[in-house]
Amino acid sequence: AQSVAQPEDQVNVAEGNPLTVKCTYSVSGNPYLFWYVQYPNRGLQFLLKYITGDNLVKGSYGFEAEFNKSQTSFHLKKPSALVSDSALYFCAVRSEAGTALIFGKGTTLSVSS
Amino acid sequence: NAGVMQNPRHLVRRRGQEARLRCSPMKGHSHVYWYRQLPEEGLKFMVYLQKENIIDESGMPKERFSAEFPKEGPSILRIQQVVRGDSAAYFCASSPQSNEQFFGPGTRLTVL
């Protein structure tokens, strides 16, 4: 069965420090991996995706993620956090043959000034 | 280039009433997905539609829930005889093909 795990309910970082939001997945075959961000009472905004190619993917707002096949991980990273990055982050996966996205439970990122 | 549109944004219904949620996909997108987000949880897939066809409804409850995506007009998610447990945020997403999905702002359903 396909699944996504985001082991941390909350991540706290100080502004200017690097941040990492963790994600591991389980899927049959090649994974299609995505990160979305959700601000309060808003929909999900697409950040980045991995389909194939370079394991390091760069996305919106300075975020990047690294696909690690051996560890089945797709951690989200940013070199220098901003207070405005504070939001709820979702990792999602689908199989190459699938259609629906399988989401993790989300990680709340809190960046303090 | 408008994004995915959903209306209403907030919907309040009493137990036993019907809820109709509408989703207009992005221009040029023929694939529509509905997801439900319960409090403190991630999004759960409900149904995937293309124009006039239900492709995958494996996430839909067996009773009271239905979805359509007619040739003309928005996609509709219909919940009959709502119960308190249906209270959630319902998100629609669209894609030009079965790949990256763009999400709407959601409809927050409250059942009294």
Mutation target vs A (from B26, B55, B101; most A CBs, 10 A cutoff): B101
For A100, the closest of B4, B48, B105 (CB atoms) is: B48
pLDDT of residue A99: 80
Residue whose tokens read 């007619």: B70
- pLDDT (tens digit per residue) in A40-59: 877 889 999 999 889 999 99
Token pair belonging to B109 = 């359903």
Write out pLDDT tens, residues B74-110. 999 999 999 999 999 999 999 987 578 999 999 999 9
* DSSP states of A38-101: E-TT--EEEEEEESSS-SEEE-GGG-EEEEETTTTEEEEEESS--GGG-EEEEEEEEETT--S-
Which of A:38-97 have CB within 8 Å of B? Answer: 41-46, 49, 51, 90, 92
Which of A42, A47, A48, A103 to substitute to test the interface with B, most B CBs within 10 Å?
A: A103
Mean pLDDT over each residue of chain B, to the nearest integer: 92
Q: Is A101 close to B59, i.e. CB distance below 8 A?
A: no
Between A34, A36, A43, which is nearest B106 by CB?
A43
Say how far apart CA A15 and CA A26 lie, in whole Å: 32
- CB distance from A101 to chain B under 8 Å? yes
DSSP 8-state code for residue B58? T
Contact yes or no for B59 and A32 at CB 8 A: no
Per the omega criterion (within 30 degrees of 0), is the bond before A40 cis?
no
Q: What pLDDT does A52 receive?
A: 87
Task: Give tens-digit pLDDT for B7-17.
Answer: 999 999 999 99
Question: Any chain B CB within 8 A of the CB of A2?
Answer: no
% of chain B residues with pLDDT over 90: 78
Residue-by-residue pLDDT tens, chain A, 113 positions: 789 999 999 999 999 999 999 999 999 888 999 999 998 877 889 999 999 889 999 999 999 999 999 999 999 999 999 999 999 999 999 887 778 899 999 999 999 99
Q: Is the pLDDT score of B60 beyond 90?
A: yes
Q: Which helix (H) or strand (E) holds B12?
A: strand B10-13
The whole-number pLDDT of residue A31 equals 92
Q: How confident is the model at residue B1 (pLDDT cuts 50, 70, 90)?
A: low
Name the residue facing A43 among B40, B42, B105 (closest C-beta). B105
Which residue, among B23, B15, B11, has the nearest Cα to B104 in the 3D structure? B23
Contact of A34 with chain B, judged by CB distance below 8 Å, is answered with: yes
> SS3 of B86, please?
helix
Shortest distance, CA A81 to any CA of chain B (angstroms): 24
A102 and B45 within 8 Å at the Cβ level: the answer is yes
